[in-house]
Chains A and B, each alone.
Chain A
Amino acid sequence: MSDTILSMRSITKTFPGVKALSDVNLEVLRGEIHAICGENGAGKSTLMKVLSGVYPYGDYEGEISFDGEPCRFGGIRDSEHRGIVIIHQELALASNLSIAENIFLGNEQATRGFIDWNKTNAAAAGLLRRVGLDENPVTQVLDLGVGKQQLVEIAKALSKEVRLLILDEPTAALNDEDSAHLLDLLRGLRDQGITCVIISHKLNEVLAIADTVTILRDGRTIFSKPTTELTEDKIISGMVGRDLDHRFPPHDPQVGEEVFRIEDWTVHSPTQHGRLLVDKANLTLRRGEIVGLAGLMGAGRTELAMSVFGRAYGANISGRIFKDGQEIRLRSVREAIKHGIAYATEDRKRYGLNLIEDIKRNISAAALGRLARRGWVDDNEEYRIADGYRTSMNIKAPSVSSITGKLSGGNQQKVVLSKWIFTDPDVLILDEPTRGIDVGAKYEIYTIINGLADQGKAVLVISSELPELLGICDRIYTLSAGRITGEVPRAEATQEGLMTLMTAGQEAGE
């Protein structure tokens, strides 16, 4: 067979009290694209941190050899010196600096101690051509979208004479078009002889681009196989250790009468004057019904939801909201909660949780008044309520006095859902409720959503994953460029049909 560029043998990495990696092996061939798949906590990031020297030699057991030579990296600089560059999921760009400055950050193009800007910008321009990014090198990074920032990161890696490029969830934040471009670029780099390791959860992408797939589970290597021998189902069963016949819990909807309706809902951008984010949207929710809202990134899904939720986002909002047939005005989040509306954000760490506070205080945060008499909180009652949710929602934590920042994504999401359920809402808007949580926890979240519907609540689920919407929703709206372009009952919905509606009118809109 062709030669091995990277070989990691019997890697074991122990944190106090836990083995994060246990005897992991990874063989990467020269010039291939190698995908690493695994659930949250499977050890993927830890393995890459071992490889890139974040955990220095001596901090782990096992052998690494790169290009036939053994490696004992003391830090990231050592691994980069050998041509191993890692691009993290959270991009590490200084947004106030220009593209060229970012590319050569820490590697400044200087002549006699002074930065040579002509040299810097010319070299940057050359690298941008290689990654297919048509931007001026002096443009500030904050003016670029996420997709373009990702390309700048790759250009930065290329400037370091990269030989092994590691990408951690490169397409997680990208829309389909940018993802496709990125994957094309990776193929191009492979043809130029750069080996790539990508960590990804998007199995369709993995199958489309990777030559070899290695599966990690619970800190162990499960298998490493050529992509040609694999299917999505095989990868999933390798990741979770079981066959996923039932990704979605069965649900028999009991749909009642209308509980919530918006008419001609129009929202403008708070930052860009006159830009329309949501354009005369109409939407109806009924009791006991789970309704999906599908749309590509930038379609205005979150903007629609947050503007409805007490004008938490957007400017120049117009339109009418009806609750139980009565028109209501929601001028603040407080009023929205009082009217039985709940909105669980897509970004739970930034907008959903107080990460330095414990579980019980997060759960009570949106309805503290329910626990209080004359302004004084009954903290025993708070504990009891929170502990009830810990049990019923299966929040895995030693107690409700555990700090939320230390929980896994799935458990954090359950805390967020508990918080909103405790406000006793009639309408729940769940924005990307399963983003960033592993397969098992997703199933639990779906079960919770079904339970909410069974209690007669209306649930609006916003999601980027069409299979998820198809799996749990009774009805799906599609949103494209701020306009509702379709309303499809579950029985008639297909991925292709929804995608057509989600892209409808985009060209006309521009």
Chain B
Amino acid sequence: MSLAPTNADLAVDPAAAGADSGSGGRRRFSINLRQSGIYIAFALIVLLFTVLTGGDMLAPQNISNIIVQNSYILILAIGMILVIIAGHIDLSVGSVVAACGAVSGVLMVENHMAWPLALVLTLVFGAVIGAWQGYWVAYFGIPAFIVTLAGMLLFRAITLTILGNRGIGPFPDAVRTLSNGFTDGYLGNVGLGVLGGADLFSVLIGVIAVAGIVVTQWRTRAGRVRYGQAVDALPVFIAKIVVAAVVVLFVVVQLARFRNLPWVLVLLAGLVLGYTLLANRSVFGRQIYAVGGNLQAATLSGVKVKSIVFWIFVNMGVLSALAGVIFAGRLNQANPTAGNQFELDAIAAAFIGGAAVQGGVGKVVGAITGGLIMGVINNGMSLIGATTEQVMLVKGAVLLAAVAFDVWTKRRAGASR
């Protein structure tokens, strides 16, 4: 037997230890770039189209349109990012959107059920679909790619069975308001100088939102300082807050000048907030990252891996149902072709937003930003009169470029090891 140190660890390059400390500065920079690259890219794309459209891009009505037109994709992207973080994929969401839209149509329109009850039942139906897929993926061990590919066909078939070749409509006013409508001018208007009149309630909500951001960010920072953690330098911190506040206020004021806040924006804001908290702070959310990062290690750490994966698919089903109702409400019709290719947009949003193909990485806000990038490209290009094939071409290139950038920064980080 050997008296010597057995070193089975040569896979780690000997330069690793030194390179960590040596190139620390550059590494920190590239990590920052990787994390914030998506937001910078978003800002540049918005800027580009603002210039190309002579400012129409940021006109009150257009901002409102971008939000309302992309709301269902953004809702799907929230569910999809969690699925992808866990290391899976869901190809069926487009069909689930259609199936749930059909079910809600049957309940609300054909059976005249009260819309809140019908909405809840539709969400339950989505949950059942999610549970069905979650069962096959988590407990039966079939790759999600296959299960949801099958689901894509199955749930489209269910949609067609329910609807045949027709659409069901019109939807109740409440549902249409949720999809398409705006908050009322509860408090009347307020004059904003050269900008003209704007809805006071909307502006107040914007101000409250900014105050909320400032307070929570400040408290988080103070908490970290108290625990002796590294935080952004105060000027950087303030700059970030100011940028966030300006963006939020700008959007809200523009909306207030048009037709007040879209209800879907209120809904989306709630979902983003809730799911960000879930992903970052809840035990369940943390375990999603653990499962996606290293399945075996998570299993051996006592994480209920199967249950996590199961519930992630249930969640995806519920969010697909919500998107289905909103989409049907927006068209005022449950349509057999609804949701076609939505899965591709949702998946693209997640990957543009920084999710890793291998799982374990991703942020809710990133997926939303990714979805907005796609939405802005769609909208901006149609404003400048681009054709459908040109839009497709650009979206495809952006998706590839985003993932290529991610792979490149990762490789660069790896090469300095």
Contact = CB atoms under 8 A, between A and B. Distances in A.
Decide if A and B are genuine partners: yes
Interface of A: 15-20, 39-46, 89-90, 168-169, 172-173, 199, 201-206, 219, 232, 235-236, 239, 247, 309-310, 312, 332-334, 336-337, 343, 345, 350-357, 361, 364-366, 368-369, 372, 375-377, 379-381, 383-384, 387, 398-399, 401-402, 406, 408-409, 419, 435-439, 442, 464-467, 495, 499
B19 A436 contact: no
Contact of A201 (B7, B26, B226, B361): B7
A333 B10 contact: no
The interface centre, meaning the residue of B7, B19, B304 with most chain A CB atoms within 10 A of its CB, is: B7
Contact of B293 (A199, A202, A205, A355): A355
Contacts of A173: 8
A437 B304 CA distance: 31
A46 B293 contact: no
Interface string B207-235: 00000000000000001101111100000
Interface stretch (B63-71, B254-262, B278-286): B278-286
A236 B294 contact: no
Contacts of A380: 223-224, 226-227, 229
| Most B C-beta atoms less than 10 A away, residue of A46, A345, A356, A387 | A356
A361 B289 contact: yes
Interface in B275-309: 277, 280-284, 286-287, 289-290, 293-294, 296-304
B7 A354 contact: no
A203 B293 CA distance: 37
B12 interface: yes
Contact of A169 (B8, B22, B298, B416): B8
A172 B4 CA distance: 12
Interface of B: 1-24, 26, 223-224, 226-230, 277, 280-284, 286-287, 289-290, 293-294, 296-304, 356, 360-361, 416-417
B302 A377 contact: no
A201 B293 contact: no
A438 B7 contact: yes
Contacts of B14: 20, 40-46, 219
A409 B8 CA distance: 9
Given A356-B294, A366-B301, 8 more contacts: A17-B19, A18-B15, A199-B10, A204-B2, A350-B294, A364-B286, A365-B298, A438-B7
Contact of B283 (A235, A375, A437, A467): A375
A42 B9 CA distance: 12
B413 to A, nearest CB: 9
Contacts of A408: 9, 12, 16-17
B16 A351 contact: no
16 contacts: A17-B18, A17-B19, A44-B14, A172-B6, A203-B4, A232-B3, A236-B5, A312-B300, A336-B302, A351-B296, A354-B360, A361-B289, A380-B227, A387-B228, A406-B16, A438-B7
Nearest to B25: A17
Nearest to B26: A16
A435 B10 CA distance: 11
A219 B300 CA distance: 37
A310 B303 CA distance: 12
A170 to B, nearest CB: 11
Contacts of B2: 201-205, 465, 467
A375 B23 contact: no
Contact of B12 (A16, A40, A442): A40
Contacts of B293: 354-357
Given A17-B21, A361-B289, A352 B297 contact: yes
B5 A439 contact: yes
A361 B281 CA distance: 12
A173 B6 CA distance: 10
Given A16-B23, A333-B302, A383-B227, A202 B15 contact: no
Contacts of A387: 228
A90 B9 CA distance: 10
Nearest to A416: B297
Given A375-B284, A384-B227, A406 B7 contact: no
Contacts of A20: 13-15, 18
A58 B361 CA distance: 37
A354 B227 contact: no
Contacts of A398: 20-21, 24
Nearest to A206: B4
Contacts of B7: 39-40, 169, 172, 201, 436-438
A204 B16 CA distance: 28
Contacts of A379: 280-281
Contacts of B230: 399, 401
Contact of A40 (B9, B228, B281): B9
B302 A435 contact: no
A168 B405 CA distance: 34
A45 B13 contact: yes
A508 to B, nearest CB: 24
A208 to B, nearest CB: 11
B126 to A, nearest CB: 23
B212 to A, nearest CB: 18
A383 B229 contact: yes
Contacts of A439: 5
Q: Which of B1, B229, B281, B294 gathers most chain A CB within 10 Å?
A: B1
Contacts of B12: 40, 408-409
B22 A18 contact: yes
B401 to A, nearest CB: 22
B302 A15 contact: no
B8 to A, nearest CB: 4
A377 B282 CA distance: 5
A368 B17 CA distance: 29
Given A39-B5, A199-B10, A353 B286 contact: no
A337 B417 CA distance: 35
Given A204-B3, A406-B417, A419 B301 contact: yes
A131 B204 CA distance: 81
Nearest to A413: B9
B280 to A, nearest CB: 8
A17 to B, nearest CB: 2
B94 to A, nearest CB: 30
